[in-house]
Amino acid sequence: MERGLWLLLLLSISIEAMPPTHHLNQSCPYQNQCNPAINWQHIRRLESYVRRDVDPCVDFYAYACGNWRRIHGEGGTATTISEAQINQRFEDLFLRLLQDPRAPEHGYPMQQKLLSHYQSCTALTSPNLRQYLQHLPPLPSLDTSHWMQLVSILGRYGYHDHYVQIEVRHHNISQHMIFIQPHNHILSLNLTREIYEALPQRHLCFHQLKDMFNRLEVHLNRLAKPNIADDSFHNLTLEEIRRRVPELDWLGALKRQLNRSSVNADHSFQVDELSAIRQLILYLNRQDRLLLNLYSLARFLSHLLKLPHNPLGRQSSSPLESSKSLSIACIRHMRRTLYLPMIYAYERVYYAQQRPSDERVIHSVFTELKDQLVQTLDQNNFNLNRGLVEALQTKVLGMRLNVGNVPRNVTEDFFWAADRNWNVGHDFHENHLNSLLYYYSLTAELEDNPDATEKALWYSFNNHSPDLTDNIDATPYFYCLGNIIIIPYSYAQLPFYHSEFWPAMLYGDLANTLGHEMMHAFDTDLVDYDVQGNMRDYSEQLQQQPLYVEAVKCLNDSSVVLNERTSDVSGSRLAFRTYMKDSQSRQSNGRYYFLQFSHFFCGDEGDRYHDMGSTRLNYALSQMPQFAEYFQCARGTPMNSATQCQFW
Ligand SMILES: *[C@@H]1O[C@H](CO)[C@@H](O)[C@H](O)[C@H]1NC(C)=O
Ligand SMILES: *[C@@H]1O[C@H](CO)[C@@H](O)[C@H](O)[C@H]1NC(C)=O
Ligand SMILES: *[C@@H]1O[C@H](CO)[C@@H](O)[C@H](O)[C@H]1NC(C)=O
Ligand SMILES: *[C@@H]1O[C@H](CO)[C@@H](O)[C@H](O)[C@H]1NC(C)=O
Ligand SMILES: *[C@@H]1O[C@H](CO)[C@@H](O)[C@H](O)[C@H]1NC(C)=O
Ligand SMILES: *[C@@H]1O[C@H](CO)[C@@H](O)[C@H](O)[C@H]1NC(C)=O
Ligand SMILES: *[C@@H]1O[C@H](CO)[C@@H](O)[C@H](O)[C@H]1NC(C)=O
Ligand SMILES: [Zn+2]
């Protein structure tokens, strides 16, 4: 938006439309002082989105976000704008360092390697997939080597989708485990010309090879389909696996993929469908080795191209985009594939000076919310047995928070050690492979690390994997396996939050967002995880309580995403209870509390996991009698007519 329009809006608001604010609580909850200018400016911003010709009791979203599109255009939300700012700061940093070889940041751990990776990425001109294969370690002969040899080499790069899947995964708050599963029958290979041309030994023409791959897949899919639809894994030792499926060199495969010199016979694994795995192995052992190995390479290339934000994966064989958008594409790619180095750079260069005040404020609000939730659980509205109530309270008390998602309590040495484990060369393909090798070797080591102190550092944050889908690190989220809430950098800034916000604006988003994420720990999917991230049978116990079943039924409307709705409703109630205890403060602070809450949803079209912002906001507020009270919404108006559903 143009600057002139802003000014016009601000002026017209300040002259005629600003509601009375003389009772606005201007205290500064957890800081010595809160700069009034920051707050007034933010209030003017919130007011600029308000459409006064809309009745807030009819459609609060249309009221609070009515001017959003006019100001920000199509397609964006505060979250996407914030995300773009973070990317821009990375670009600013890299360009500055490239121009100034004497900048002190060059001496930070991992910084040189980040710059080299960035340069190799922005230097890309046209994709050349064969480069990926040329930068793999020397491969065994494709004609004669057993299929598992190649699969376990590709597994080092985190690739594990076909034939037999061996993958190291997060298991609970302090442990990774090795998961073994049959061929992924949901994902099939789309052999493109581009991939075909990158393959070695092409004595078959494109269509012949495509047909042969298709036939192979039909057999694999048939063998891999589970007989019973359950997603439970069995805990087996290596010895048991070897005894039940002697037709594969398990030890060799594990040693190669995990870069270990030995694996104990009593090492335990999480295994799914071992009998299907055996059938697959028996079948594969009879097939043509060259075909199987070519299929592996093709799947691997296809996987690399599909990794989120791989700049090569966007449009095959057409020229890469303009240099500005390639630069941002490279940054997004690096934020995925080099998570730890990138987060460290951002912390050190941009966030460190803001951290102490943010930590104080955000953790204080978090603690208040926890206390409130523990009290609410104590009232035991669902009439649960005492043991379950206590387990759920323990889960709340043990819940952690990580602002910025950085490793906690580490020194610079931790990052120098990480630097040493990561190689960077000159070619993008090589560097991309190196970044994957770096991440997945760390993960493999973690699975076998006996040092509890060192492990605690790795489990104090969520070391995002290169294949993480989008958006998860753009807004705060609850991570069930670690019982931890992650607050990404893109949230720890305006317009969502500022450590110097006055209470209405501080709680309006922060308490609601934290409340929402905390209540994910109690949604219908994630309630089963305990304080340490282990699966329990809490749902089963809850299903036996008619009051609970009734509450879920009340919220479960087939047109919405249930576990978001439950978090919206109970999270916003929790935030409200925590913040506005007395009705006096409600009267004078309600407006900015609710406008700040709404701001997060403005422009949000929803996605696979979330309903539209308007639906979410209006429903959550219609479930909050204090909202109707504050805006004096008469009974029967849309914002004050919903059946009130009880939940946590
Ligand atoms: C202003 O808010 C603070 C923090 O929430 C609270 O402690 C204080 O009592 C409030 N002051 C008034 C006058 O309501
Ligand atoms: C396979 O890839 C080609 C080229 O990228 C694309 O046009 C086609 O739609 C894809 N087919 C499937 C089934 O995904
Ligand atoms: C798996 O079983 C072994 C003993 O057979 C036991 O020590 C280990 O804790 C179990 N692991 C899991 C994940 O249940
Ligand atoms: C594999 O292990 C060896 C010896 O422990 C180590 O020197 C090497 O760096 C490891 N390779 C990777 C890719 O981690
Ligand atoms: C960091 O260390 C301090 C002091 O040793 C400890 O009190 C604190 O709990 C640690 N924080 C985390 C997140 O591990
Ligand atoms: C993590 O899971 C393993 C295997 O199930 C279990 O032995 C261990 O006790 C769990 N850790 C915690 C802290 O609960
Ligand atoms: C919610 O309702 C849908 C049908 O509308 C049902 O399939 C689902 O099991 C319900 N979820 C819960 C947790 O009750
Ligand atoms: Zn959510």
> What are the sequence ranges of the domains in the chain?
130-315, 354-403+490-648
- b/e per residue, 542-578, with b = 16+ CB within 10 A? beeeeebeebbebbeeeebbebbbbbbbbbbbbbbbb
* pLDDT-derived band at 474, boundaries 50, 70, 90: confident
CA of 264 to the centre of ligand 3 (A): 14
| Ligand 1 contact, 31 CB (< 6 A) | no
Q: List, in order, residues 6 or more apart from 437 with CB less than 8 Å away.
A: 156, 157, 423
Name the residue with the closest Cα to ligand 5, atom 10: 409
Distance 377 CA to ligand 5 centre (A): 28
- Greater confidence (127 vs 223) lies with 223
The full DSSP string for 308-351 is: TT-TTSSSTTSPP--HHHHHHHHHHHHHHHTHHHHHHHHIIIII
Contact at 8 Å (CB) between 201 and 142? yes
Per the model's pLDDT, the better-predicted residue between 587 and 580 turns out to be: 580
pLDDT band per the 50, 70, 90 thresholds, residue 201: confident
Q: Is 539 in the pocket of ligand 7 (CB under 6 A)?
A: no
User: CB-based contacts of 117: which residues, under 8 Å, 6+ apart?
Assistant: 334, 338, 424, 431, 435
DSSP string, 310-322: -TTSSSTTSPP--
Nearest protein CA to atom 1 of ligand 3, as residue: 235
**Residue 475 and residue 472: Cα distance in Å, rounded?**
6
Q: What is the pTM of this model?
A: 0.93
Residue 355 has pLDDT above 60, yes or no: yes
Ligand 3 centre to CA of 237 (Å) is: 8
Instruction: Judge if the beta carbon of residue 524 lies within 6 A of ligand 7.
Output: yes
Residue 543, ligand 7, Cβ within 6 A:
no
Place of tokens 């603690």: 367
Residues contacting 334, CB < 8 A, separation 6+: 90, 114, 117, 118, 121, 342
Find residue 382's DSSP bridge partners: none
Instruction: State the average pLDDT for the chain.
Output: 92
Show the ligand 5 pocket: residues with CB < 6 angstroms. 408-409, 460
441 in ligand 4 pocket by Cβ < 6 Å?
Answer: yes
Gap from CA of 234 to ligand 3 centroid (Å): 10
Q: Which of 522, 554, 556, 563 to mutate to test the pocket of ligand 7 (most atoms within 8 A of CB)?
A: 556
Instruction: Kindly state if the Cβ of 552 falls inside 6 Å of ligand 7.
Output: yes
Most confident of 327-331, 468-472, 644-648: 327-331
Ligand 5: centre distance to CA 360 (Å): 15
Cα gap 221→188, rounded to integer Å: 9
For residue 193, the ligand closest to its alpha carbon is: 2
Residue 96, C-beta contacts closer than 8 angstroms, at least 6 positions apart: 103
State yes or no: pLDDT of 502 exceeds 90: yes
Atom of ligand 1 nearest to the CA of 503: 5
Note the pLDDT of residue 512. Answer: 97
- Which residues make beta-bridge pairs with 486? 402, 477
Q: Is 174 in the pocket of ligand 6 (CB under 6 A)?
A: yes
CATH number attached to the domain at 130-315: 1.10.1380.10
Q: How far is the CA of 236 from the centre of ligand 3 (A)?
A: 8
Does ligand 3 have an atom closer than 6 angstroms to the CB of 268?
Answer: yes
Question: How would you write 484-551 as a 3-class SS string?
Answer: EEEECCCCCCCCCCCCCCCHHHHHHHHHHHHHHHHHHCCCCCHHHECCCCCECCHHHHHHCCHHHHHH
What CATH topology corresponds to 354-403+490-648?
Collagenase (Catalytic Domain) (3.40.390)
pLDDT at 434: 98
Does residue 293 have a pLDDT over 50?
yes
- Tell me which ligand sits closest to the C-alpha of residue 555: 7
From the CA of 534, give the closest atom in ligand 6. 14
Q: What is the pLDDT of residues 258-269, one digit of tens each?
A: 999 999 999 999
Task: Write out the two tokens for 270.
Answer: 């999480």
Give the Å distance between the CA of 467 and the centre of ligand 1.
45
Average pLDDT over residues 461-488: 91
Residues within 5 Å of ion ligand 8 by Cβ?
A: 564, 567
| Residue ID of nearest Cα to ligand 3 atom 8 | 268
Q: What is the pLDDT of residue 524?
A: 94
Q: How far is the CA of 128 from the centre of ligand 2 (A)?
A: 19
Cβ of 172 below 6 Å from ligand 6: yes
- CB of 174 within 8 A of CB of 455? yes
Q: Closest-lying ligand to the alpha carbon of 210?
A: 2
Is any atom of ligand 6 closer than 6 Å to the C-beta of 270?
Answer: no
Indicate which residue's Cα is closest to atom 14 of ligand 6. 532
Only one residue has tokens 């609060």, namely 60
For residue 471, what pLDDT is reported? 67
Residue found under tokens 């009267």: 587
- Cα of 506 from ligand 5 centre, angstroms: 26
Atom 13 of ligand 3: nearest residue by CA position: 235
pLDDT recorded at residue 13: 46
Looking from the CA of residue 530, the nearest atom of ligand 6 is 14
Ligand 6 in reach of 268 Cβ (< 6 A): no
Ligand 4 and 259: CB distance under 6 A? yes
Least confident of 5-9, 68-72, 103-107, 137-141: 5-9
Ligand nearest to the CA of 551: 7
377: CA distance to ligand 1 center in Å? 26
Atom of ligand 3 nearest to the CA of 235: 1
Q: Whose CA is nearest to atom 11 of ligand 1?
A: 25
Which ligand is the nearest neighbour of the Cα of 270?
3
pLDDT higher than 70, residue 551 = yes
pLDDT band at 127 (very low <50, low <70, confident <90, very high): confident
Does 201 sit in the ligand 7 pocket, CB within 6 Å?
no
> In this model, does residue 628 exceed pLDDT 50?
yes
Q: Tell me how far CA of residue 150 lies from CA of 251, 281, 515, in angstroms.
A: 15, 15, 47
Task: Identify which has the larger pLDDT, 435 or 557.
Answer: 435
Provide mean pLDDT across the span 457-468: 96
Q: Is ligand 6 within 6 A of the CB of residue 534?
A: yes
Cβ neighbours, 10 Å, residue 635: 7
Residue 242 to residue 265: CA distance in whole angstroms: 9
For 4-25, the three-class secondary structure string (H helix, E strand, C coil) is: HHHHHHHHHHHHHHCCCCCCCC
Q: Considering only CA atoms, which residue is closest to atom 2 of ligand 4?
A: 259
Read off the pLDDT band of 22 (50, 70, 90).
low
Are the CB atoms for 179 and 254 separated by under 8 Å? Answer: no
